[in-house]
Structure 1
Amino acid sequence: MGWKAKITDYKNYLKIERALSENSIDSYVRDLLKLVNYIETYSEDSTPNKINKTQIQQFIYEVSKVISPRTQARIISGLRSFFDYLVFEGYREDNPLDLIQSPKIGRKLPDVLSNDEITEIIKSIDLSHPQGERNKTILETIYGCGLRVSELINLKISDLFFEEGFIKVTGKGDKVRFVPVHPYTQKLISSYISHIRSHITPSKEDSDIVFLNRRGKKLTRQMIFIILKDLCAKVNIQKNVSPHTLRHSFATYLLKEGVDLRAIQQLLGHESITTTEIYVHLDNSYLQNVVEKFHPRREI
């Protein structure tokens, strides 16, 4: 089998066996296609079963000229995973990336917004338009619940359990968690559904989706990104901001207020506490406060 067939099989493996999201799968495939395009461009007569370490090294050398070390590391990791799959399925006896090292990169700490900055952004929204109230509710929901943007755009009306004080969120790998929702956020969502969404005719496939565009379709990740970018420009915030920044800001704010790291892990839906621990690096005062509060000799 050639590249196309192997990549199709690999996509099925990532979806079924590893339960990755469509976005993660697309990222893996994009990086694989870069390798395939390189092979085809330079007329390398090589199949997934026969490509060797030297060819992979040449490809990595070429792409490293135009990408960052972090992106290079991601591509190497993705290719290594693909060839591990081929070895596991018996198509190859070796992984050509086993001896190829990724560039060393430091941990990249995400930008965060202060509570005041987020308030300023939300206050700049023009509420005279129906989309204004929708956009305000979107940003307040992401920030107030610590959602991923994919979780926000896929949120369903049937996922809202306001009487119990929770929303049901489907996260990475289709893992479901219940996230507490503050009465303030509940009020905004209920108002949007009653006064704005009720005047939109939803498409058949998106009839249960909470947040819709003017044509009744589910919003895209890109649209949420554009909405937030435009608002940040409006209030002259220079930070590198994305919808994920609101999620980071939510977690960082909770940490500063003394919320336990395990509780933040559950709220964010992190599978590993190691992922959540990045917020400790954002706020060094956290560990200091822990020592002052819980040190065994604190009362001496």
Structure 2
Amino acid sequence: MSQRGYYVNLHIATRSRNLRLTALRAFLKFAARRDVSSFYVIEQALGVPMKRFERPMLGFLTRDEMLAVLGEPGNTWTSKRDHLLLTMLYNTGARVSEIIGVKVSDVVMDESACVHLRGKGRKQRSTPLWKSTVQEIRFWLRLNPTLGADAALLPNRDGNAMTRFNVTQRLNIAVNRAVQVQSSLSNRSISPHTIRHTTAMHLLQAGVAFSVIALWLGHESTNTTHRYVEADLTMKDKALARLQEPEVQTCRYQPPDDALMQFLKSL
């Protein structure tokens, strides 16, 4: 605690620092229009640069790993809900906050089946659903006839919407079960956001355009979607295979036949 009573945090993450700096810059630009006399000081503060940082490689699952995590719906109410939860996460590539906010009325199950998601900044988007997902939702609603239009599609035992912790906990259980089938899942940190990356990567590998994937995931810019190309080594290998290798023949080194070599040979 400093003398002025402000708490100084010396362990601020780089992204948090840049986010706070962005907010500060917005305020200073507003203040510059209100107090022209302080423009010189404000201009110096606006000159503080953003801190650079290395973006971690995106983690994702292969199709076999994802299918192992999904597994088969069990006989209990919780296992059926968890299977639908993971299926919708993979189908839509939604964020956790988006999937737990889905209400029964947000699901459209006619010929153009889709689910309405509420993303960042209260932006809404519609994501199509597989026929198998629609069938599972229909079965789930028949199993829970008391769920009204405004009720959470995936509630907890109390009938309320699931929390982020609930979703992470149920995913960990599914991953621990899937390790018995896919040993590559062991000792890996798999979060609900990993499934979101998996959906995007599988769409990219299927040949879906960047702009469509960006709309699918609710990205404001396609630059975010381009990160998936950096993470996919298989696509890079295919691209390298299309590039013809240079036909270079390596020759064994032959020393020049100079006077020193002649002298050494004569010894």
Q: TM-score, normalised by structure 1?
A: 0.67
Query: What's the RMSD between the two structures over aligned residues?
Result: 2.8
Task: Give, in whole Å, the separation in 1 of the partners of 2:50 and 2:27.
Answer: 20
Match of 1:77 among 18, 25, 34: 18
Larger Rg: 2
SS in 2 for 1:189: helix
1:249 aligns with 2:192: no
Task: Give, in whole Å, the separation in 2 of the partners of 1:175 and 1:82.
Answer: 21
> CA separation of 1:84/1:107 partners in 2, compared to 1, >3 Å: closer, same or farther?
same
| Residue of structure 2 equivalent to 1:213 | 156
SS in 1 for 2:197: helix
CA contact (8 A) 1:162 1:186 kept: yes
| Residue of structure 1 equivalent to 2:3 | 43
Matches within 5 A, 1:219-238: 219-236=162-179, 237=185, 238=187
> CA separation of 1:280/1:232 partners in 2, compared to 1, >3 Å: closer, same or farther?
same
1:187 aligns with 2:135: yes
Aligned-partner residue type, residue 214 of structure 1? R
| Residue of structure 1 equivalent to 2:119 | 171
| Residue of structure 2 equivalent to 1:265 | 214
Task: Give, in whole Å, the separation in 1 of the partners of 2:11 and 2:119.
Answer: 32
Unaligned runs of 5+ in 1: 1-40, 47-54, 65-70, 294-300
Task: Give, in whole Å, the separation in 2 of the partners of 1:259 and 1:86.
Answer: 40
Aligned-partner residue type, residue 151 of structure 1? E
Which shows bigger deviation, 129-138 or 233-242?
233-242
SS in 2 for 1:140: helix
Unaligned runs of 5+ in 2: 180-184, 243-267
Match of 2:61 among 96, 113, 123: 113
CA contact (8 A) 1:83 1:96 kept: no
| Residue of structure 2 equivalent to 1:198 | 145
Aligned identity (percent) is: 23
Matches within 5 A, 1:122-133: 122-123=70-71, 127-133=74-80
| Residue of structure 2 equivalent to 1:86 | 27
How far apart are 1:230 and its partner, in Å? 2.6
Which shows bigger deviation, 271-280 or 99-108?
99-108
1:157 aligns with 2:104: yes
Which shows bigger deviation, 284-293 or 207-216?
284-293
Q: 1:81-111 CA distances to partner (integer Å, 9 max, x unpaired)?
A: 3322432442884278645555432221221
Task: Give, in whole Å, the separation in 1 of the partners of 2:30 and 2:205.
Answer: 48
Task: Give, in whole Å, the separation in 1 of the partners of 2:89 and 2:48.
Answer: 39
Aligned length: 228
Task: Give, in whole Å, the separation in 1 of the partners of 2:49 and 2:71.
Answer: 48
CA contact (8 A) 1:258 1:286 kept: no
How far apart are 1:229 and its partner, in Å? 1.8
Q: Specify which structure has the bigger relative contact order, considering alpha-carbon pairs within 8 angstroms and separated by 6 or more residues.
A: 2
Q: 1:188-247 CA distances to partner (integer Å, 9 max, x unpaired)?
A: 11111211x3367x7xxx943211111110111121011112322333422221111111
Task: Give, in whole Å, the separation in 1 of the partners of 2:44 and 2:100.
Answer: 39
| Residue of structure 2 equivalent to 1:104 | 52
How far apart are 1:257 and its partner, in Å? 1.8
Aligned-partner residue type, residue 92 of structure 2? C
SS in 1 for 2:145: helix
